Structure 1
């Protein structure tokens, strides 16, 4: 072995991994706290926020598991560790992956619930999104189950290297990992594209469209991380790789993916706080996050805004305004609203305030 190869083998990847993961963890904690503050401030705290809070807790526990694993030697060469420490490293590596996978799945489910409340009005669209939530739960849970049932008898046989244990081929875990990663990447892409298409069809100023599309399309970054992590899944099929170093890159990208899901899905929810910081007034009465539905009814004499039940599949108004609404902020759906038209009758049309 050359000197360079020996130095590479002896290099401890743990400290750098620890800095990367906890940097992401701290960022996600701050963003989710701001999300909760913003939602409570305007009275819009809901199930999606509870799911996101739970996702953050799971991901943070995963970061803690990784920290313990690094303490025992995760990221170091296996030849430098005792058999007992190697077993503990492998055990905490599996626990790290479990909480990372669970956090990412719940983060996506939270964002889907948020999208359902924000943009989905047609019944079949709602059905598709709820089915997507079900698949997120099932597909990601199955991967976690596979991690711990691949050795017959008990899960500890995975890290105890018992000669009596009969384990599945590592290809099972790797191939399912490819499928799970591809599904999560496709989910991120679908959510970003759906939000983009919906907002792009609305009669909004180009600047407003680009702003809203950018906020709800941030999941593309999570998709990129999911793709890179999926490529790294190949290490799960390798028998001859160092068990205490092989999954360092895989775990890093798993948590980058998970925390990007949490962060990018929460940023749109803190919009009201950012506008308040800029000095734009907002109160619980005139401030709405990206989750309010309204229909505006117009007559020859007066125009009134009334909130409609979310189950009604009709034209609706999505009020995403913060601060006081002005004529420059509101855009109709393109229909003529001349007060002299249809005298004596009222009609509904869509207005988007941003």
Structure 2
């Protein structure tokens, strides 16, 4: 089984990368005597959720998640079911909280209609993703992940359709949050070069939007009977979306640190 070690290495590398950027963001805040605000605390919570989710993925691998034969005992299958549910919850929280953090950052620098737009996008994105987390426990297959047996459970197709909708809306919010800073910054009294630098730094969330789209593309893998092996790519995109969003949310703060280092 080479899939398990490969997925484990990629997942923890992404976590380490996100941890580095978040750590530098926190260091930058304290070194400038600014302290942490709500967006920082939300982002730290998102990072913690990502670490927990990847930890459960690592544990799931030892239970046979990436093995073609799957779990070898009924006990392992039950534990894998529990792990699957828990990691889905924490992946969802990591994703939505990291995006919410940047939304809260934008709320600090906007007013009137623009602030209402950001608030609307943030709230509706949270609603869409939290429903997706809840619906995770409704799907019928794969059976080892299903918490509702028989009538009342969701078909995999129905679950995937909603998952694609939630992922697509999440990507739309990412792209919207990447565009909004350009409208804000272009009206400021700054040098043109400085404006573009700030706007680009605050628009890195577009990469998170791309990862959300990739996750949507791979969601149909849930219909495969060999999900334990084919679903590896989907899991990696789950980790990538949260990690990239944490990195993107940290870059605007790090820009000030980079300027200080380059000027000295």
The two structures have a TM-score, normalised by structure 1, of: 0.68
**Which residue of the partner structure matches residue 186 of structure 2?**
200
**Which residue of the partner structure matches residue 187 of structure 1?**
173
Is the 2:29–2:35 contact (alpha carbons within 8 Å) kept by the matching residues of 1? yes
Moved more, 69-78 or 217-226: 69-78
Matches within 5 A, 1:254-293: 254-280=238-264
C-alpha distance in 2 between matches for 1:161 and 1:145: 12
C-alpha distance in 2 between matches for 1:47 and 1:22: 26
Is the 1:90–1:243 contact (alpha carbons within 8 Å) kept by the matching residues of 2? no
C-alpha distance in 1 between matches for 2:250 and 2:217: 26
1:53 aligned counterpart, secondary structure: helix
Q: 2:28 aligns with which of 31, 35, 38?
A: 38
**Which residue of the partner structure matches residue 144 of structure 2?**
159
Distance 1:115 1:163, change over 3 A: closer
Matches within 5 A, 1:246-261: 246-261=230-245
Structure 1 residue 99 displacement after superposition: 0.9
Is the 2:201–2:255 contact (alpha carbons within 8 Å) kept by the matching residues of 1? no
Structure 1 residue 50 displacement after superposition: 0.7
Larger relative strand fraction: 1
Q: RMSD over aligned Cα, in angstroms?
A: 2.4
C-alpha distance in 1 between matches for 2:146 and 2:249: 40
Structure 1 residue 205 displacement after superposition: 2.8
The two structures have a TM-score, normalised by structure 2, of: 0.90
Give 5+ residue unaligned stretches, structure 2. Answer: none
**C-alpha deviations, 1:122-158, integer Å up to 9, x for none?**
x12212212222112211110010011346xxxxx95
Q: 1:228 aligns with which of 193, 207, 214?
A: 214
Larger Rg: 1
Matched residues, number: 262
Bigger relative contact order, structure 1 or 2, given CA contacts below 8 A and separation 6+? 2
2:154 aligned counterpart, secondary structure: coil
C-alpha distance in 1 between matches for 2:219 and 2:23: 32
